[in-house]
Chain A
Amino acid sequence: MMDRRTFIFAGIAVALVIAAAAPFIASGNPDGLESAFFGIFGAKEIQGSDLDDHAAESAEEAVIGITGNEFSFASPFPDYSMEGLEKFGEAAAIIIGTLLVLGIAFGLTRVVAREG
């Protein structure tokens, strides 16, 4: 059995390796929900793979017309990107996010666990 300290460091190492590798191995295809959306709004075939970029843009405008939800929010690193830094910026953004989640989860869980 792995001792406690080794397990913690191994766990953090695994998370960071996944975070660093993510931008280099992840697919840029639309995800399941986006793909369904583009299929339903005529920007691609549901069982086809070609995305019509122009129709995709119109779909994004059309859906706001349907729901009326115009809320938009400028996140600091949209789509895990850093301006002008390409894949390495993405890796950095995902590593920062991973460390942040690690820190918040650790702090919050410790406070809550001590309360109980």
Chain B
Amino acid sequence: MHIPDAFIPLPQAAVYWIIALVFIALSLRWARKEMKEEKVPLVAILAAGIFAIQAINVPIPWGTSGHMMGAALAAIVLGSPFAAVFILTLVLIVQGVLFGDGGITVMGANIINMGVIGGFVGYYSYRGLYPLFKSPYAPAFIAGWLSLFVAALVTAVEMAVAGTFPLGLGLFSMGLYHAVIGIIEGAITAVAIYLIATARPDIMADPAGVPA
């Protein structure tokens, strides 16, 4: 879902950067207030793991592939959508600058789609679904799926505003591919939460009161 530079006109790319910077500032404020020193290694491991897993493009039908985003996972494990903004921003900077994965001028848009939309949709759908299931795994799967699907639709709208995709066909094709890629996102999110909760049940007890 990494948008390359050519897909968005510069003035629009600048607007996305400004919005992204607001969320980056809020995520830094979150980190300063909520981050305890014992969580530092967990944040670093999640960031590294998300970077690595984003390199695995899984084949789906229609000659297409896709990889996990990791925003829902970061937000659920660390108990805040701003954790996803914080981690995904770091990952996207390294990907864009070192590896040319995702553009530079459009990095603000990529931070909004994967970090902000992914993090907020993932976190709040998990929070909303948890009481219905009384278990973290089904809500984590659905939250992962939804976070990627909604991020893809928002990307399609941005492409339409940019003049790159027509709105209808853009929403249809982005929605079709990412409905399938979302299964990967949901499954890995649920499995990662299972592994973390099994290894360290204490980590998952999040301050916002969502036990897992």
Range of interface residues on chain A? 35 or more
Instruction: Tell me if B164 and A115 are in contact (CB < 8 A).
Output: no
User: What is the total of A-B residue contacts with beta carbons within 8 Å?
Assistant: 247
Return B133 CB to nearest CB of chain A, in Å. 24
Residues of chain A within 8 A of B155, CB atoms compared: 33
Let me know if B65 is at the binding interface, CB within 8 A.
Answer: yes
A80 close to B99 (CB less than 8 A): yes
**A29-B64 in contact (CB<8A):** yes
A30 touches B64 (CB 8 A): yes
Q: Judging by beta carbons under 8 Å apart, are B90 and A36 in contact? A: no
User: Do A37 and B164 contact each other (CB < 8 Å), given the known contacts A22-B56, A101-B91?
Assistant: yes
The answer to whether A67 touches B52, judged by C-beta atoms less than 8 angstroms apart, is no
Residues of B within 8 A of A (CB-CB), count: 82
Q: How far is the CA of A64 from the CA of B176 in the complex (A)?
A: 25
Question: In whole angstroms, how far apart are the Cα atoms of A58 and B105 in the complex?
Answer: 22
Interface status of B212 (Cβ within 8 A of chain A): no
- Chain B residues contacting A73 (CB-CB under 8 Å) are 5, 100, 103-104
Q: A32 CA to B91 CA in the complex, in Å? A: 19
Residues in A lying within 8 Å of B, measured CB to CB: 1-2, 4, 7-8, 10-12, 14-16, 18-19, 21-23, 25-33, 35-37, 39-40, 44-51, 60, 63-64, 66-80, 93-94, 97-106, 108-110, 112-116
* Interface residues in chain B, defined as those with a beta carbon under 8 Å from any beta carbon in chain A: 1-3, 5-10, 13, 28, 31-49, 51-53, 55-59, 61-67, 87, 90-91, 94-101, 103-106, 152, 155-156, 159, 162-166, 169-170, 172-174, 176-178, 181, 199-202
Interchain Cβ contacts under 8 Å between A and B, 18 examples: A26-B65, A30-B64, A31-B2, A32-B65, A32-B66, A47-B176, A66-B162, A67-B7, A71-B103, A75-B96, A97-B99, A105-B90, A106-B44, A109-B31, A109-B35, A110-B37, A112-B31, A113-B32
